[in-house]
């Protein structure tokens, strides 16, 4: 034991290892909230809580007294059924079940948090916030919380969460801190759009809208990024891996599949074989900045081990991408382009800006895109997209 203590003491003398085998200090974790508060949501059999880590000052503890662990599990199951049911509905049909569930999220989970953000922290409208869900909270679309009510004075609708703040997710505080630190090492941007509408045998049905999506994405990108497109027979596992290594920005349109039993086998469907999360994480992707995953289930966690956040979007963030757009469930490729177009238009609207390609604009651009398509994209296809990272 004495030898162990001596060895640990020596390690702690090494630069950067002063907290070796010690819990991180609060001031170190608070670096995650440098550009906006981080809300950690914790579910247990004893009590459900939220902890807000503000940009400065002490954390704020919010007991979520109106919801229990059993309630959350029930909410998760009801969401699964509601999304499945909505996928079989026509765009004109009312998503009544989904609306009821999103109102429940607002009333029981997000409203007490918003009260603190607004009245205690005095957070201005359209400020950035980060949601850091744990346990069963990872299976619930917190960003889509909505009261679906008319104001008392009949002047319009009560604002939902995304009307008030620009929401992002982070799997952990350290992941967000690391992404911010890596933003300091930037190079000239380059862009590749990878699409596979005709995946190999057994990898899913044909996606007829992929090629048209790649075409207008390519046209929206600044010429200074030297945009290239990889599709059809060129969009293979090897081709996609090489493109990921050589470019800073990536748009990926294809089938995505989350493997709940072996998360590292979660994959994107390419022309010849699957591109797995493990394939990507084993690569050196030194200059990665932004990736838009226009594919199904890329930000859906594992229901059996929800605290082990190893889905495709989080995996790409851990691999070096600082800003990621992912999806919580199945996305209709014919509908996805309605989100993608206003998203990139917003990203590059300031063409005179010398730093027009800034991945830190992604959360705000996604919020804009979702607002822009309210009248033509069904509710479940609007809220499927989430932003993760800086």
pLDDT (0 to 100) of residue 185: 74
Going across the sheet that includes 274-276, the strands are 256-257, 267-269, 274-276
Query: Where are the domains positioned within the chain?
Result: 28-169, 186-389
Higher pLDDT, 41 or 1: 41
Q: In the chain, pLDDT over 90 holds for what percent of residues?
A: 57
Question: Is pLDDT above 90 for 361?
Answer: yes
What are the helix (H) ranges across the chain? 2-12, 26-29, 69-86, 96-105, 111-119, 161-164, 173-182, 210-220, 237-246, 277-281, 312-318, 333-347, 362-372, 379-382
Among the residue ranges 2-16, 145-159, 229-243, 294-308, the one predicted with the least confidence is: 294-308
Higher pLDDT, 168 or 187: 168
Asked if 280 contacts 138 with a C-beta cutoff of 8 angstroms, the reply is: no
> 333-350: per-residue pLDDT in tens?
778 888 999 999 999 887
Among the residue ranges 258-262, 277-281, 326-330, the one predicted with the least confidence is: 258-262
pLDDT (0 to 100) of residue 99: 96
CA 312 to chain centroid = 10
Q: What are phi and psi of 307, to 5 degrees?
A: -80, -15
Token digits of residue 68: 């229990």
> 367-381: per-residue pLDDT in tens?
999 999 998 899 999
pLDDT (0 to 100) of residue 229: 92
User: Running DSSP on this structure, what letter comes out for residue 150?
Assistant: B
Q: What is the mean pLDDT of residues 232-243?
A: 93
Q: What is the mean pLDDT of residues 146-166?
A: 90
pLDDT (0 to 100) of residue 304: 54
> 97-139: per-residue pLDDT in tens?
999 999 999 999 999 999 999 999 999 999 999 999 999 999 9
pLDDT (0 to 100) of residue 131: 98
pLDDT (0 to 100) of residue 100: 97
> 301-340: per-residue pLDDT in tens?
555 554 445 678 888 888 889 999 999 888 887 788 889 9
d(CA 6, CA 238): 48
Question: Is pLDDT above 90 for 292?
Answer: yes
Tell me the pLDDT of the chain averaged across its residues. 89
pLDDT (0 to 100) of residue 286: 74
Report residue 65's pLDDT band, with 50, 70 and 90 as the boundaries: very high
Say what the pTM is: 0.90
pLDDT (0 to 100) of residue 355: 59
pLDDT (0 to 100) of residue 23: 84
Question: Is pLDDT above 80 for 37?
Answer: yes
Domain 186-389 CATH (choose: 3.40.640.10, 3.40.50.1460, 3.90.580.10, 3.40.630.40): 3.40.50.1460
| CA proximity to 40, closest of 130, 132, 169 | 132
d(CA 268, CA 292): 13
Report residue 300's pLDDT band, with 50, 70 and 90 as the boundaries: low
**For the stretch 367-390, what's the b/e string if a residue is b when 16 or more beta carbons lie within 10 angstroms of its beta carbon?**
bbbbebbeeebbbbbbbbbbbbbb
d(CA 388, CA 319): 13
């Amino acid at each position: 034991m004495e030898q162990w203590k001596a060895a640990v003491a020596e390690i702690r003398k090494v630069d950067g290892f002063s907290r070796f085998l010690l819990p991180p200090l609060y001031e170190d974790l608070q670096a995650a909230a440098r550009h906006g508060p981080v809300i950690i949501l914790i579910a247990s059999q004893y009590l459900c809580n939220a902890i807000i880590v503000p940009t400065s000052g002490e954390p704020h503890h919010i007991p979520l007294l109106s919801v229990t662990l059993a309630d959350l599990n029930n909410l998760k199951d009801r969401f699964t059924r509601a999304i499945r049911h909505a996928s079989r509905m026509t765009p004109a049909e009312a998503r009544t079940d989904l609306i009821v569930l999103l109102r429940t999220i607002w009333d029981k989970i997000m409203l007490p948090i918003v009260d603190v953000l607004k009245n205690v922290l005095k957070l201005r409208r359209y400020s950035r916030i980060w949601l850091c869900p744990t346990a069963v909270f990872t299976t619930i679309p917190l960003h889509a919380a909505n009261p679906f009510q008319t104001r008392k004075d009949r002047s319009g609708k009560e604002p939902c969460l995304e009307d008030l703040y620009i929401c992002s997710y982070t799997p952990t505080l350290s992941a967000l801190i690391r992404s911010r630190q890596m933003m300091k090492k930037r190079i000239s941007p380059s862009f590749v759009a990878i699409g596979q509408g005709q995946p190999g045998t057994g990898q899913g049905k044909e996606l007829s809208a992929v090629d048209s999506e790649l075409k207008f994405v390519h046209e929206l990108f600044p010429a200074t990024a030297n945009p290239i497109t990889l599709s059809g027979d060129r969009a293979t596992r090897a081709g996609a891996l090489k493109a990921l290594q050589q470019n800073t920005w990536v748009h990926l349109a294809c089938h995505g599949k989350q493997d709940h039993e072996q998360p590292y086998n979660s994959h994107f469907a390419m022309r010849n074989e699957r591109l797995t999360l493990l394939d990507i994480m084993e690569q050196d992707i030194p200059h990665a900045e932004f990736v838009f995953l226009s594919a199904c289930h890329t930000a859906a966690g594992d229901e059996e081990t929800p605290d082990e956040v190893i889905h495709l979007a989080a995996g790409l963030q851990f691999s070096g991408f600082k800003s990621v757009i992912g999806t919580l469930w199945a996305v209709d490729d014919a509908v996805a382009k309605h989100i993608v177009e206003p998203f990139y238009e917003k990203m590059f609207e300031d063409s005179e800006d010398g730093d027009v390609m800034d991945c830190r604009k992604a959360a705000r651009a996604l919020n804009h895109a979702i607002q822009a398509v309210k009248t033509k994209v069904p509710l479940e296809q609007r809220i499927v997209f989430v932003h993760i990272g800086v």
